Amino acid sequence: MIFSSSLIEDAVNEFSRLPGIGKKTAMRLVLHLLKQDAQKVEQFSLVIAKMKKEIKYCAHCHNVSDHEICKICADVTRKKSQICLVETIRDVMAIEATQQYSGLYHVLGGLISPLDGIGPDALNIQTLIQRIEICETEELILAISPTIEGDTTAYYITKKLSHLPVKITTLSRGVAFGGELEYADELTLARSIMGRLPIADIVHGGG
Amino acid sequence: MIFSSSLIEDAVNEFSRLPGIGKKTAMRLVLHLLKQDAQKVEQFSLVIAKMKKEIKYCAHCHNVSDHEICKICADVTRKKSQICLVETIRDVMAIEATQQYSGLYHVLGGLISPLDGIGPDALNIQTLIQRIEICETEELILAISPTIEGDTTAYYITKKLSHLPVKITTLSRGVAFGGELEYADELTLARSIMGRLPIADIVHGGG
């Protein structure tokens, strides 16, 4: 791409460093911003800078927050006896969007992955154990990906918590609602058959 | 989408105002920036703000530029007798990328479109006429879209220039190179047949 202005070139380069944005899309975004009012572009720039500067991570659950303690941890109506363990803050948002969970969260910040050099110390595991010890949590729900890294992490955490009376559960896996059987992958389908449930459990919401 | 931080929410809203970026993609971009070093995010923000503040438009051709006169207009090796009329600066980049044109450009900034309230005065048409009068331009190449707006604009400009000895040409239209005939749209194919050329012209690069 040949740029007639180095200012444009720099802006395109910055945008194209973002995930999923190539040079052409970056150019489109830059041209869009060029057409906007100066005030709007300044606001765009300010909001991004401000977010990075002022964002806090909740001292309890490591979720992003505007304050020391996040909205969810500060909410007195939520069940303090349940902690849902997730990998990222996006998972918190996904579970919150279901409106089916009223306990607390704990954001790990990643999964144990020796290949990528991520050990247990790089994650928020120590604070999780302390939280469970101090708050006498009754249930820890492992809502982490069913990958090799996820399984390793789940195994490590389960071992570390074996001396505590906390009940450890995991999300149920199976064929998605609305999904057609023929398009489900073999592993999911196989696990769905192995983990089959009496139909009464589903109908009455038990389990 | 339920956000646990208003800083994140603001940033997602800003990103999702960009064309082609929805809330989910915006969230992905924001989370990516959150993971980056503070310095990198600040640079991103600064570069965007700087671009909008410091960008100049060439006094001759209205292309974006770092200086009063753009690189292309300032280049003494380019043919001053040819002006290629384009709609946007992206078109300048597209034509420059072909490396087949060595004349100057003139960026209209849009097309005449009464439905959108864009009249000739909103575009850089007056400066084009002045340029052609003063520089005694020999050829004006209309490289604008073959749409109703494009045709209207081309017709208007041709009329306005009728008193000047400038030769007005337009890009050739036809089936794209590498395109298969059966996939060409009917109008393009019809025009290609109407505007057929002796094969010698193509082989020898004439026309």
pTM listed for this prediction: 0.77
Distance of CA B201 to the CA centre of its chain: 29
Residue B206: pLDDT over 80: no
Q: What is the pLDDT of residue A207?
A: 42
Nearest to A90 among B27, B48, B55 (CB): B27
Q: Report the residue of A13, A18, A73, A98 to disrupt the B interface, i.e. the one with the largest count of B CBs within 10 Å.
A: A18
B199/chain A closest Cα distance in angstroms: 33
The set of residues, in sequence order, having a beta carbon less than 8 Å from that of B96 and lying 6+ positions away, is A2, A4, B72
| Mean pLDDT, range A156-165, rounded to an integer | 92
Nearest to A48 among B1, B45, B96 (CB): B45
pLDDT digits (tens, 9 = 90+) for B172-191: 877 777 777 778 788 888 88
Name the token pair of A190.
């196989």
Nearest to B48 among A11, A52, A96 (CB): A11
Domain B6-54 has CATH 1.10.8.420: yes
Helix/strand/coil for B32: helix
**Phi, psi angles (nearest 5°) of residue A43:** -65, -45
Name the token pair of A202.
């589903």
Q: Report the residue of A1, A2, A23, A39 to disrupt the B interface, i.e. the one with the largest count of B CBs within 10 Å.
A: A2
In order, the DSSP letters of B80-92 are TTEEEEESSHHHH
Closest CA to A196 of A177, A181, A174, A176: A174
Name the token pair of B86.
């384009």
A148/chain B closest Cα distance in angstroms: 23
Residue of chain B with shortest Cα separation from A40: B14
A201/chain B closest Cα distance in angstroms: 30
> B52 vs A34: CB contact, 8 Å cut-off?
yes
Cα–Cα–Cα angle for B53, B56, B61, rounded to 5 degrees: 155
Nearest to A34 among B6, B55, B70 (CB): B55
| Mean pLDDT, range A67-72, rounded to an integer | 91
Q: How many angstroms separate the CA atoms of A150 and A145, rounded?
A: 5
pLDDT digits (tens, 9 = 90+) for B20-55: 999 999 999 999 999 899 999 999 999 999 999 999
Backbone CA torsion sign across B110, B112, B114, B119 = positive
| Mean pLDDT, range A35-47, rounded to an integer | 93
Residue of chain A with shortest Cα separation from B48: A11
**Least reliable range by pLDDT among A77-86, A129-138, B33-42, B197-206:** B197-206
A195/chain B closest Cα distance in angstroms: 32
Q: Which helix (H) or strand (E) holds A51?
A: helix A38-54
Residue A7: pLDDT over 80: yes
> B4 vs A90: CB contact, 8 Å cut-off?
no
pLDDT digits (tens, 9 = 90+) for B64-99: 999 999 999 999 999 999 999 999 998 998 888 888
The set of residues, in sequence order, having a beta carbon less than 8 Å from that of B53 and lying 6+ positions away, is A38
Question: What number is the ipTM of this complex?
Answer: 0.79
pLDDT digits (tens, 9 = 90+) for B131-165: 999 988 999 999 998 889 999 999 999 999 999 99
Closest CA to A151 of A191, A92, A183, A201: A191
Q: What is the pLDDT of residue B201?
A: 65
> Beta-carbon neighbour count of residue B122 at 10 Å?
14
Q: What is the pLDDT of residue A57?
A: 92
Same CATH fold, B77-203 and B6-54? Answer: no
B58/chain A closest Cα distance in angstroms: 10
Among 3.40.1360.10, 1.10.3720.10, 3.90.1150.10, 3.40.50.300, what is the CATH number of B77-203? 3.40.1360.10
pLDDT digits (tens, 9 = 90+) for A165-205: 999 998 887 777 777 777 878 888 888 787 777 776 656 65
Q: What is the pLDDT of residue B202?
A: 58
Q: What is the pLDDT of residue A201?
A: 65
> Quick check: A11 and B47 in contact, CB under 8 A?
yes
Residue A98: pLDDT over 50: yes
**Least reliable range by pLDDT among A49-53, A172-176, B164-168:** A172-176
Residue B183's alpha-carbon distances to A86, A163, B45, B110, B145, in angstroms, are 49, 69, 44, 29, 20
> B44 vs A93: CB contact, 8 Å cut-off?
no
pLDDT digits (tens, 9 = 90+) for A103-127: 999 999 999 998 989 999 999 999 9
Domain ranges for chain A, please list them: 6-54, 77-203
In B, which residues are within 8 Å of A36 by CB distance? 52
Nearest to B64 among A4, A48, A50 (CB): A4
